[in-house]
Amino acid sequence: HTIGFATTTLALHAPSQIAAAIKSKAGEMQFNVVISMVEQPGLEATRSAINSLLSQRVDGIIINIPLEDADAMEMQRACGAVPALFLDVSPTVAARHSVFDPDMGARLGVEHLVQLGHRHIALLGGPASSVSARLRFDGWLQHLSEHRLTPVAKLHGDWGSLSGYQQVQQMLHEGVQPGALLVANDQMALGALRALHEFGLGVPRDVSVVGYDDTEDSACFIPPLTTIKQDFRTLGQVSVERMVALIGGEQVPDDLLTVSLVERKTTA
Ligand code: IPT
């Protein structure tokens, strides 16, 4: 039996760790995995990735490409009788999914900073093409407003570390210096740390930083990164178990996976 895995670029840390987790869980369960990767997310790229997997006669398809609700429904139809499971969609979508809870992640980050006494918080979100980036950003705004706070800056990167570096550098050059920074992923947080360092700002002495993902390298940043952990190993296990059940003709529930705050050395 073969599981197809349609994924956004594996050059990013989170998707590559999800792919690794899916591959090893599938191996344990005696399933093959074939991968089809899109360079840029989008409906047409996703459609051709799915078609290429279908032409390789996969038994089911796990899709880790950001998709809006209507696009996910359309891709589910495109899979026909082959079961599809989505990993990067809104938890409210009607298509079958196993996703991390974006609102919980946003809330944990905001609550952590507010409890430390922060009021001047800047946001560094992900790209507009990502549903998850938008849900995290909206969650931050909502939970900040529950504390009667508005962000001192709203920045957007492309998930890569260089974009985090450039966005934060530009903010500092414009004279905005927040007390804390919520970042939508650890790679952009890495770039943010460099920009703060080059500006002569201490982390966490002058600025606190909270990342998102807890990828393999985050504990080795300087300083070790406080972040919202998405347990990619668990996502790999759950999604493969669901897919194997679907291939066996069973019904499966949707999953909303919890995330957790990992406190390291970038917040005070
Ligand atoms: C999401 C990551 O949090 C983010 O860092 C980035 O790598 C993105 O994927 C790429 O699409 S995790 C996803 C399952 C929402």
What pLDDT, on the 0 to 100 scale, is given for residue 35? 98
What pLDDT, on the 0 to 100 scale, is given for residue 59? 98
Ligand 1 atom closest to Cα of 12?
Answer: 7
Distance CA 215, CA 221 (A): 11
- Comparing C-alpha atoms, which of 257, 215, 254 is closest to residue 86? 254
- Comparing C-alpha atoms, which of 233, 232, 239 is closest to residue 14? 232
Distance CA 189, CA 197 (A): 12
**Residue 231: pLDDT band by 50, 70, 90 thresholds?**
very high
SS3 177: coil
What pLDDT, on the 0 to 100 scale, is given for residue 119? 98
Q: What is the pTM of this model?
A: 0.97
Question: What average pLDDT score do residues 153-170 get?
Answer: 98
What pLDDT, on the 0 to 100 scale, is given for residue 113? 98
For 240, the token pair is: 């493969």
Of all protein residues, the one whose alpha carbon is nearest to atom 10 of ligand 1 is 15
**Residue 262: pLDDT band by 50, 70, 90 thresholds?**
very high
**Residue 17: pLDDT band by 50, 70, 90 thresholds?**
very high
What pLDDT, on the 0 to 100 scale, is given for residue 65? 98
Angle, alpha carbons 72-73-77 (nearest 5°): 115
Ligand 1 atom closest to Cα of 188?
Answer: 5
What pLDDT, on the 0 to 100 scale, is given for residue 146? 98
Ligand 1 atom closest to Cα of 14?
Answer: 7
What pLDDT, on the 0 to 100 scale, is given for residue 55? 98
State the distance from the centre of ligand 1 to the C-alpha of 200, rounded, in angstroms. Answer: 30
Question: What average pLDDT score do residues 60-77 get?
Answer: 98
Question: What average pLDDT score do residues 117-142 get?
Answer: 98
State the distance from the centre of ligand 1 to the C-alpha of 229, rounded, in angstroms. Answer: 12
Ligand 1 atom closest to Cα of 213?
Answer: 3
What pLDDT, on the 0 to 100 scale, is given for residue 156? 98
Gyration radius of the chain's alpha carbons: 19
Distance CA 164, CA 205 (A): 20
Strand-pairing partners, residue 100, are 257
State the distance from the centre of ligand 1 to the C-alpha of 185, rounded, in angstroms. Answer: 8
> Which residues in 91-119 are b (16+ Cβ under 10 Å) and which e?
eebebbbbbbbbbbbbbbbbebbbeeebe
Of all protein residues, the one whose alpha carbon is nearest to atom 15 of ligand 1 is 88
Pocket of ligand 1 (CB under 6 A): 8, 12, 14-15, 64, 66, 87-88, 130, 132, 159, 185, 212-213
State the distance from the centre of ligand 1 to the C-alpha of 15, rounded, in angstroms. Answer: 6
Q: What percentage of the chain has pLDDT greater than the value 90?
A: 100
Q: What percentage of the chain has pLDDT greater than the value 70?
A: 100
Of all protein residues, the one whose alpha carbon is nearest to atom 5 of ligand 1 is 185
Question: What average pLDDT score do residues 103-125 get?
Answer: 98
